[in-house]
Chain A
Amino acid sequence: MSVDDRFVRDFREGQEEPLGTRSEIITGPVSDWASDFSHLEPEWAADPYPIQDELRARCPIAHTERFGGGWLPTRYEDVAAIAYDTEHFSSRAIIMSNYRPPRDIAPVGAVPPISSDPPFHHDARKLLLPAFTKKEVAKREEAARAFCHSLIDGFEGAEIVDAARDYAQHIPMRVISDMLGFPPEDGPRFREFVEHALEGVNLPPEQRVANMGELFDYLLEQIRDHVASPRDDLTTYLIEAELYGRKLEPSHVAGTMALLLIAGIDTTWSAIGASLWHLAKTPADRERLVAEPGLLPTAMEEFLRAYAPVTMARLVKEDIHWRGADMKADDWVLVSFPAANRDPAQFDRADEVIIDREINRHAAFGLGIHRCVGSHLARMELRVALEVWLERVPVFGLADPSAVTWAPGQVRGPRTLPLRIG
């Protein structure tokens, strides 16, 4: 047996700093949402829906000069068309920022498969699918449920708890670190990695590079530990996995691990938090779900529709006149699944949360070839988190509505959520 020496050297050594292009960082109040939008400003983080509704009615594809130029479609039809059109829109970067990676990074990208384009995308994705089926993730339900109970045990005696910080965030962190085989006590570091990747978008480039460096240092440490002592987990699986008859490139192994860590945590944390926020401020829905637990799977889909946490980005491949917008090569497009989910042309009473909505063809997990690989896992976590909460804490409300804060950027959910439970 030959020794796996792919990870002995740091795979980043000797690699040239990828060139790419940088644009000027522009922050500050938005003058006009149709021509200067920014999903990183506090107004958007606090409540993006009226902004999206207004743009959908009057625009419907907004533009900005920020981030070196970008577009924001708000109709379901346009969002779906872009998600399906991998010929004109590339996933080589999916977080809208002031840095565009060089074109030759496609079709693999930094964090496959989310950063990959066809045909490579299909093969990188296929590697992950078997571990994330509904049947496979069901095996983790019992442990997830016990963990949720232990978090609530920790509330003992408290009248006010922070449901985002003390409950929602821990659940996906624990689940994904178990799946990857990372030490559970590293949770707080994951939070930092997530914030750096998704919210630190307008930081100076040197700072962003240093932040990503820390994440990859951590992953390399975990990989080396798994090379030395292989286990039955996703890290060992990725180290052993083969594509086209060869083991994966070290950067592919680490990139996919980074993706699973980032995509697995923030998103589900946001979905759990937003659902609890809704129930805390809507006693009728809370009481109905406590009385009719069988309705939860239906209600959960409605929370995912109305408070869809995830927006993805694409880069325009070549200049194109697209449905009235003059898109230039390398312009960003924000693929706003949240805005699509509130389009009245697609959903009856789109702006209302109807917990027994029976027809709910929402796009919270994306559309087309990049459909969230973790959707079955996320649904299991969300259902279990809400079931345990409602069973243990059937009566709760917002302790201080003005103290609730929401994460800015492409993954949106409550980050501070004080609830009165006593």
Chain B
Amino acid sequence: MKVQIDPARCQGHGRCYDLSPDLFTEDDEGYGQVVGDGVVPPGGERAARVAVSNCPEKAIVLVEEA
């Protein structure tokens, strides 16, 4: 599983890096960034879903890998 942020939608509310700091961080203007390549480590699925369902702009995409 992978997380991505759609930069066209992200407005920097920061819910993702507040709630799931292992997966997300902020840039110098407060916009969300995925940590590393966005691959969710084992056990991190819940943190990923919490971030997705709390982003006010619906900017986070979960990519389920086959």
Report A's interface with B, CB cutoff 8 A: 126, 129-130, 132-135, 297, 358-363, 365, 367-369, 371, 375-376, 379
Contact = CB atoms under 8 A, between A and B. Distances in A.
A119 to B, nearest CB: 15
B16 to A, nearest CB: 11
Given A358-B50, A362-B56, A369 B30 contact: no
A136 B14 CA distance: 13
Q: Considering residues A361, A363, A367, which has the most beta carbons from chain B within 10 angstroms of its beta carbon? A: A361
Given A134-B14, A297-B18, A361 B28 contact: no
Given A129-B12, A130-B29, A133-B30, A359 B54 contact: yes
A134 B12 CA distance: 10
15 contacts: A130-B28, A133-B28, A133-B29, A134-B14, A135-B26, A359-B50, A361-B54, A361-B56, A363-B56, A365-B13, A365-B56, A368-B11, A369-B11, A375-B13, A375-B14
A141 B53 CA distance: 28
Nearest to A376: B14
B35 interface: no
A412 to B, nearest CB: 20
Contacts of A365: 13, 56
B14 A129 contact: no
Contacts of B14: 134, 375-376
Interface of B: 11-14, 17-18, 26, 28-30, 50, 53-58
A367 B29 contact: no
A134 B50 CA distance: 19
A323 B58 CA distance: 23
Contacts, number: 49
B54 A132 contact: no
Contacts of B50: 358-359
A130 B11 CA distance: 14
Contacts of B53: 359, 361
A375 B29 CA distance: 13
Given A133-B26, A360-B54, 7 more contacts: A130-B28, A133-B29, A134-B17, A134-B18, A361-B53, A368-B11, A375-B13
A369 B10 CA distance: 9
Contacts of B29: 126, 129-130, 133
B23 to A, nearest CB: 15
Contacts of B18: 134, 297, 379
Nearest to B10: A371
B3 to A, nearest CB: 16
Contacts of B11: 367-369, 371
A126 B56 CA distance: 20
A308 B18 CA distance: 19
A132 B12 CA distance: 11
A367 B26 contact: no
Contacts of A362: 56
For the complex of A and B, 8 pairs with smallest distance between CB atoms: A129-B29, A371-B11, A133-B30, A359-B53, A361-B56, A134-B14, A129-B30, A130-B28
A137 to B, nearest CB: 10
B4 to A, nearest CB: 18
Contacts of B17: 134
Nearest to A372: B13
A133 B14 CA distance: 9
Contacts of B58: 361
Nearest to A125: B29
Contacts of A135: 26
A128 to B, nearest CB: 9
Contacts of A367: 11, 56-57
A130 B30 CA distance: 7
B30 A376 contact: yes
Contacts of A129: 12, 28-30
